[in-house]
Amino acid sequence: MGACFVTEVFDGKFTPKELEKAYNNRVEDLRSEYGSNAYNGTFSTLHGIHVEKSRVFQTQREAEDYLDGTCEKWGDAIAVKYKDRREEKTKEPTFEGKPSKEYNCAVIITDASDCSYGLRCAINAITAPDYKRRLLIADQITPTQKAQFLKAYNAWREKHQAAAEANKKFHDALNLVATTKEPITTEMLKPLKIFGNQRHKLRAAADVAALRLRTVDAKFAEKLYATTTVDHGEQWLVGGVCAE
């Protein structure tokens, strides 16, 4: 049987005694939901809870790393505190008067190495009646900026699609050579060279266009978004290595 590392956040205002009570209530809920199987992968597989009262970590990640390296299978859950500071948006653009979360369809661009980047100045909208994707530019973008952005976007899209088509033709030709039961001829190898060279050239061009689009997007997005650090006080993080 294996094990999994599990963490859960509890209210930082709890005293250690209140935390123990809240944790035990949580364990009972888990037993009701997953049963009393000693390998159910939840806190109910642990012995109890140990609260480290004096330790406070600067971030949740630091607290998780500590618990991950300290907790043991079949042992106690361990609770530590961390400072809950989060970056929260104070300013963001709208798209046809609505925030981007109402569309929930980001525009993702990729380069030849399959590295992805989500555009911040544009989103895809999928709406009735045809439910086709429609590119929307942020309302706060000026007409001049919009023209520049669309020029960069269309250049990338054209080159990306051309590179994808050449890549498909290359793999079709490669598959033909790999699966043929006939002797491989010079004619059969020609498409590999042609489309292989095309693919290489078009990929390079698509990479240049992707970098240009990312640069334009990042430049215009600077004034569209703003964040601030909000202090939510201290929270308890409980972790344990649970048998499964």
**pLDDT single digits (tens) 155-192:** 999 999 999 999 999 999 999 999 999 899 999 899 99
Q: Using the predicted structure, report yes or no on whether residue 18 has a pLDDT greater than 80.
A: yes
Q: Using the predicted structure, report yes or no on whether residue 66 has a pLDDT greater than 80.
A: yes
Q: Using the predicted structure, report yes or no on whether residue 19 has a pLDDT greater than 90.
A: yes
Q: Where are the domains of the chain?
A: 3-88+231-243, 94-224
Which whole number is the average pLDDT over 119-130? Answer: 88
Q: Using the predicted structure, report yes or no on whether residue 44 has a pLDDT greater than 90.
A: yes
Which whole number is the average pLDDT over 188-217? Answer: 94
Evaluate whether 121 touches 221 at the Cβ level (below 8 Å).
yes
Q: Using the predicted structure, report yes or no on whether residue 127 has a pLDDT greater than 80.
A: no
pLDDT at 123: 95
Mean pLDDT over each residue of the chain, to the nearest integer: 93
pLDDT-derived band at 111, boundaries 50, 70, 90: confident
Evaluate whether 146 touches 137 at the Cβ level (below 8 Å).
yes
pLDDT-derived band at 1, boundaries 50, 70, 90: low
Which whole number is the average pLDDT over 93-98? Answer: 95
Bridge partners (DSSP) of residue 9 are: 237
Q: CB-side exposure of 88: number of CA atoms within 13 Å?
A: 8
Q: Which amino acid is at 238?
A: V
pLDDT-derived band at 132, boundaries 50, 70, 90: confident
pLDDT at 113: 67
How many other C-beta atoms lie within 10 A of the C-beta of residue 200? Answer: 14
| pTM recorded for the entire structure | 0.67
pLDDT at 126: 85
pLDDT-derived band at 108, boundaries 50, 70, 90: very high
Q: Using the predicted structure, report yes or no on whether residue 194 has a pLDDT greater than 70.
A: yes
Evaluate whether 78 touches 108 at the Cβ level (below 8 Å).
no
Cα gap 91→218, rounded to integer Å = 16
Which whole number is the average pLDDT over 86-98? Answer: 93
**pLDDT single digits (tens) 45-63:** 999 999 999 889 999 999 9
pLDDT at 112: 63
Which whole number is the average pLDDT over 23-36? Answer: 94
pLDDT at 37: 86
Q: Using the predicted structure, report yes or no on whether residue 84 has a pLDDT greater than 70.
A: yes
pLDDT at 104: 77
